[in-house]
Structure 1
């Protein structure tokens, strides 16, 4: 497989994953672009991996966790586009407010916890693969997800 073939087949999925991590489509594009430049520069090592996509997802996740954008990242307004194909909610304003509230809760989580939640509930990965992507132990993944959900539950009760 060549870099071009990989990029053609996986770029859209990586971009969706990055949007879930960052909460902002433009920032996600920057993240994916920077990651794909690194992938191209290290293509020989990437293609030798057992599962190149998993290797690249780990690169992207590490890039997100380590990104040095400082306070600007925390000021980004987070909201998602409506899901296509789902039935329209009865009250669009309420649905938008709920979606924005969830994005707000996710934005307050530490990046590794947020990445663990996205990998579990959006990418639907098992604990072992999440641990591999995040470069930590399976117990650390479970702990991060548990803490993230506890934080979101606490926020939900307060709201």
Structure 2
């Protein structure tokens, strides 16, 4: 059975029986399409779970996240040859995912929702503890944490969510955002300080 990328690209190429000869034999032109499909399927397999996890943190439910990621995959497949010539395919795909998240939120008149779980709160405590000297202040600051994170600049927001909520290594965060690892760490440092200021807690000046 063909997987999704191959099926989609083959349907486009063979629409109206243009992809077969008089005997119904598939023409050799299908081979490049098959190779393209395989590259998409490999790319999708590598990134799909993380895309779903990120979308879930934004739209608040698994089913909605699947809708967003399916739309992302459809857009990438429709323009896959173009996507492949981009300077960074993961960064391009990430931008498409963000656009589909924004589209879903707009259509449902909703705001991004960071899922309220014990794991999330633990991650945020870890984020802030390097910048805040008073652990009690960290716990108290969680009351306003959602709004403060939502107000972070986009790159800082993504770096924080990927690294602390989704536990993505710095190297992978850098790949998704199309930046250097040092820049990821810089975004995190600035996000910590910004959050500490917005939450009104005393900073230690500690850096990673």
| 1:80 paired to 2:115 | yes
Alignment partner, residue 71 of structure 2: 34
1:102 deviates by 2.4
- Picking from 103, 108, 113, the partner of 2:156 is 113
- The alpha-carbon distance between structure 1 residues 60 and 151, as it changes in their structure 2 partners (threshold 3 A), is farther
Deviation of 1:19 after TM superposition, in Å, equals 2.5
Q: Superposed, which structure 2 residues align to 1:109-148 within 5 Å?
A: 109-121=152-164, 122-126=166-170, 128-148=171-191
Which has the higher Rg, Structure 1 or Structure 2? 2
Instruction: Assess if the C-alpha contact under 8 Å between 2:83 and 2:92 holds in 1.
Output: no
**Higher relative contact order structure (alpha carbons within 8 Å, sequence separation ≥ 6):** 1
Secondary structure of 2:200's match? helix
Distance 2:180 2:168 in 1: 18
Cα gap change, 1:60 to 1:2, in 2 (>3 Å): same
Output the TM-score relative to the length of structure 2: 0.47
CA RMSD of superposed structures (Å): 4.2
Q: Which runs of 5+ in 1 are unaligned?
A: 48-54, 85-96
Gap change, CA 1:77 and 1:117, over 3 Å in 2: closer
Segments of structure 2 that go 5 or more residues without pairing to the other structure are: 6-40, 120-139, 202-208
Pairwise mapping of residues 91-106 of structure 1 onto structure 2 (< 5 A)? 101-106=144-149
Contact map agreement 1:23 1:78 (CA 8 A) in 2: yes
Task: Indicate conservation of the 8 Å contact 2:141/2:199, yes or no.
Answer: no
**TM-score, normalising length: structure 1:** 0.58
Q: From the superposition, tell whether residues 130 and 46 of structure 1 become closer, same or farther in structure 2 (CA, over 3 Å).
A: same
User: Counterparts of 1:143 and 1:116 in 2: how far apart (Å)?
Assistant: 10
Is the alpha carbon distance of 1:28 and 1:102 closer, same or farther for their aligned partners in structure 2, counting shifts above 3 Å?
farther
3-state SS in 2 of match to 1:124: coil
* Matched position secondary structure for 1:35: helix
**Structure 1's 59 and 24: CA in aligned 2 closer, same or farther, altered over 3 A?**
farther
CA distance in 2, matches of 1:100, 1:18: 23
